[in-house]
A = this chain, B = another copy of it.
């Protein structure tokens, strides 16, 4: 028989214990943020990656160089061992020619700001396509049943991102079908090329690239991103001048796949070395700009998490794998290969993938986390909110932890997945454009992101229950 007093005692003791735990965690977070803000190396690392190496398209020489650099930084920061996990990646080049112009029925020519979508074919023999323009806002305007005549035309997809959505990622998601599927949908209706309004809220003349996916059953037609200002202008002007045409010329091209790889650094856990927590960002980037926010920030957040925890003398309980994924932008083959190997480890060894966390939403001020987890783990993560309040980290929302780690969802037991959520208001101003450069990343914001990432890693390591 347990007396009522015993219940009271247990309650008091557990309250005292959880209070003591809270105090320990709170001090640990303060130490992590102090290290990041007073002696941080994330910003200098980002400068080296973006200015020293530059953009890092999968298959490129600079991506290979970045792999070497990332591994050397992990070694210098004291990872127990580092290696490259080979991944076969696509090899596509933008070429040096992407021109489009509007030719009015009066013969006047206006140059348009475009760039090839990633993976697009060039124009035939790198020659000029000349065709009238048809503007649509939705893919279903070109459905097989629709009586729209797209034959021989260049389709302008001109649906803007919705400005009233607070979450810019949701606005991006609401417009991305044009970029991903527009070319094949238009080709099915006989179009000869597509121009896709750049995915940004900014009204400017910057084209923003990004991956398209050709449907193998349709002809592959050239596809380019066009700046928001040009898209709006072209839609209005082409409507007013039906005899006008657009000329398009691009020499982008796909080559044979090549071998590159995920860069991995491991730090063995002291108490439960068979339980793996993965933390990472992606090393590849688009080939315009410098991949500074996307995803140089995630790369240096990952490296900085390792550095900070070593600097403050932390010893993880679980084994931490710091991973710089390859090929997020145009294939996600790095993330898929990582999950494939993890499944093999799960099946053939004692290793369990407990959790994974990524940073792939920019180097802006951290606002919280995206959580892909079961209810119990979600509650554990939401329980951190009071600890993070002093650091202005308040969002603990479900869903969308990140592209690189999402293939891990197929593992059993399914790992807890987290994504760092920086403020998103400025992200799409730069994303996939020539302005995604070092100068557009803010030092303190980057450091706060690194600290928040490192803090979450420690809290996962300390508090995430082991699988039953």
Contact = CB atoms under 8 A, between A and B. Distances in A.
Contacts of A426: 442, 445
Interface in A413-468: 423, 425-426, 429, 442-445, 448
Interface stretch (A79-87, A268-276, A389-397): A389-397
Interface stretch (A10-18, A32-40, A88-96): A32-40
Interface residues of A, number: 25
A38 B166 CA distance: 11
Contact of A425 (B166, B201, B444): B444
A448 B429 CA distance: 16
A395 B392 contact: yes
A144 interface: no
Given A391-B166, A395-B392, A425-B365, A444 B201 contact: yes
Contact of A392 (B37, B38, B166, B448): B166
A313 interface: no
Nearest to A34: B164
Contact of A164 (B33, B392, B442): B33
Contacts of A166: 33, 390-392, 448
A179 interface: no
Contacts of A444: 163, 168, 201, 425
A367 interface: yes
Interface centre among A33, A365, A391, A429 (most CB of B within 10 A): A365
A175 to B, nearest CB: 16
Contacts of A394: 392, 394-395
A444 B428 CA distance: 12
Contacts of A201: 443-444
Nearest to A30: B164
A444 B200 CA distance: 12
Contacts of A38: 163-164
A382 B166 CA distance: 21
Nearest to A447: B163
Given A201-B444, A395-B392, A444-B201, A365 B163 contact: no
Contacts of A391: 166
Interface string A161-177: 00110101000000000
A429 B443 CA distance: 11
Interface string A366-396: 0100000000000000000000001110110
Contacts of A367: 392
A390 B394 CA distance: 12
A448 B201 CA distance: 14
B365 A423 contact: yes
Nearest to A165: B37
Contacts of A164: 33-34, 37-38
A41 to B, nearest CB: 14
Interface in A165-194: 166, 168
Contacts of A429: 442
6 interchain residue pairs of minimum CB distance: A394-B394, A34-B164, A37-B164, A37-B163, A425-B444, A425-B445
Given A33-B166, A168-B444, A201-B443, 8 more contacts: A38-B164, A166-B390, A166-B448, A365-B425, A392-B423, A394-B395, A425-B444, A425-B448
